[in-house]
Structure 1
């Protein structure tokens, strides 16, 4: 059920000689404004250095109806003490702390996504070391509310890149091609730390289950929502400060060093392995794909088993693509070498 806060607002007009006067009591409770609840799904592990800054950025959100569900994956530093401090500082019901599965960050996020005790209108993934802009949740909720509740919906955005000391060093790439399932099969355009989704999207993720050997939780969400006929909005406005530091499990991939690393991984067969994992996971939701996307999926899966010329023809028919020219050149190379 919707988890709304009810906010009172007066709508009384100023008195005029021709109108009766109103008392203050008459002016209250006239309008009730609904504010959707957002469950922030926060995963932590050895996060003591930056966690407090992230928690503080939740406090100043312009969207006020939120609660945090933290899942810690076995930290031995002061992460637990920091979370306990915020539990004491914040009102009861603002922060819940859980024990993670200790199987890596993707498994931790999926365990929170599928946790049946969490009920809200929308769900926002959060890393432990970023800093949210004050309007992050507001921008996401405003778009999500424009769609019917039964349509799976995913909001994501660009990020502002900062160094370990929160000094700005750039922004993430601006993708111009439309989000789609054909794109999602090849890459993820939105970082999980920017993602906010609705219950229709969460229902699909819960149906697939938390025990999925997917590459990353955020890529999986992009695949599922687009594949099952949902809507994705990629916001060109950065909504958080994405900290780049030596402890990043996944950092920005827009530098030339990151591009060269991806090409090395391509030749090593990593991209092919990722596709193996995503295809196996998607089999469990194949019946939920739209007819067009099911055909794309089957075409892509079959192409990977074919010899060179039939493979290239079948991949062309599938319509898969990446967001950039260099990315698509890499995709062609992968297809030719059988590394897809």
Structure 2
């Protein structure tokens, strides 16, 4: 299978070469690396082009005419990939040598899988491991299959990826969350509980520096304490007026059925469930706009109706009650 790697860069000259070196040291090399630079003012694009001259694989470097932002830049990189498997890659991490080979083996073993994600090792800016992986951190209090989403740890089948693009322009919807939502809808996601990359956290990461991504936490008690004090994204992000997933399922209905990604009954069940989930998200978003004491009755009703246990962990109800 032809393997593509999609990298979206911005002001990444400090770490990019180290990342590209780790790709060049893979036991299975990619066929192409697509780099889209988001109008960086540093030497990121120039360094990528210089690296391409001696690279053991093809590197195509593209430059955005103006800064378009992380989501749209990654969308451009993914659209330019033509591989049978596409690996998402950030500019500042390091892949372990067996990453491509391990993920490739999973795709070959799980023929119904359209998306594979592996665990990763948290590191500080100097790439020193803090002694915790992301799945280990999320193991208690999260549904790993549903909630574990990291772009740089994700690979996706090219044919399915092209069905998912472009990424919908919805506030708060990142490119990696979108791809995982599409894969989850057809039950085509596989999680590898083995770290296959070093996840560098520093002051300029493009991904949000939320508690779940912090490199300063290495025990579960500190993590849960910080999570309960973290402002809710539902409170900060406007609630979407429609479900992009339902729109995608409706648009690609015939293709999804014809290629047997999903059957008619399962597709309708997903649409019904997604409509219910949208109602729950809207209800939670409205509740979080109220003072804590005025949330109690609404949260209790939502909890008893199954809104939390159906789509979120039950601890989310406590978080909604306690968060500022």
Which residue of 51, 58, 63 maps to 1:99? 63
Contact 1:158 1:171 in 2 (8 A): no
Q: Which one of the candidate residues 196, 202, 223 is aligned to 1:245?
A: 202
Which has more helix, going by share of residues? 2
- Tell me the distance in 1 between the aligned counterparts of 2:223 and 2:129: 19
Cα distance change, pair 94–262 in 1 and its aligned pair in 2 (3 A)? farther
Deviation at 1:53, TM superposition (A): 0.3
Give 3-state SS (helix, strand or coil) of 1:265's partner. Answer: coil
In structure 1, the gaps of 5 or more residues are 1-35, 323-327
Q: 1:218 aligns with which of 176, 185, 199?
A: 176
2:148 is matched with: 189
Q: Give the equivalent residue in structure 2 for 1:169.
A: 130
CA distance in 2: counterparts of 1:308 and 1:262, whole angstroms: 16
- 1:68 aligned counterpart, secondary structure: strand
Q: Call closer, same or farther: CA 1:249–1:37 in 2, change over 3 Å.
A: same
Q: Structure 2: state its 5+ residue gaps.
A: 254-265, 284-297
Which of 79, 93, 103 aligns to 1:130? It is 93
1:165-210 alpha-carbon deviations (Å, 9 max, x no partner) = 2222223232557655xx3xxxx4031111001024303312x545
1:118 aligns with 2:69: no
Give me the whole-angstrom Cα distance separating, in 2, the residues matched to 1:249 and 1:40: 18
The alignment status of 1:312 with 2:303, answered yes or no, reads yes
Offset at 1:131?
0.7
Deviations 1:116-144 (A, max 9, x none): x4311101111001010001111111111
Q: Determine which of 264, 282, 298 is the counterpart of 2:275.
A: 298
Assess if the C-alpha contact under 8 Å between 1:214 and 1:220 holds in 2: no
CA–CA distance in structure 2, aligned partners of residues 320 and 71 of structure 1? 35
Residue 303 of structure 1 contacts residue 310 of structure 1 at CA under 8 Å; is this kept in 2? no
CA-based RMSD of the aligned residues comes to 3.0
Deviation readout 1:300-338 (Å, 9 max, x if unpaired): 22234555555334444871134xxxxx42x11356689
Q: The residue matched to 2:311 in structure 1 has which SS?
A: coil
Partner Cα distance (1:253, 1:90) in 2: 33
- In the TM superposition, residue 161 of structure 1 has moved relative to its aligned partner by 1.8
**Contact 2:280-2:307 within 8 A present in 1 as well:** no
Give the counterpart of 1:202 among 146, 153, 161: 161
- CA-to-partner distance for each residue in 1:271-322, whole Å, 9 max, x for gaps? 2455824954324224357233222211122234555555334444871134
**How far apart, in 2, do the equivalents of 1:278 and 1:130 lie?**
35
Deviation sequence 1:89-121 (CA, Å, 0-9, x none): 126x710111246232122112222x2x43111
Classify the secondary structure of the residue corresponding to 1:145.
helix
1:49 and 1:108, CA in 2 relative to 1: closer, same or farther beyond 3 A?
Answer: same
TM-score by length of 2: 0.75
Report SS of the residue matched to 1:47: coil
**Tell me, what secondary structure is at the counterpart of 1:159?**
strand
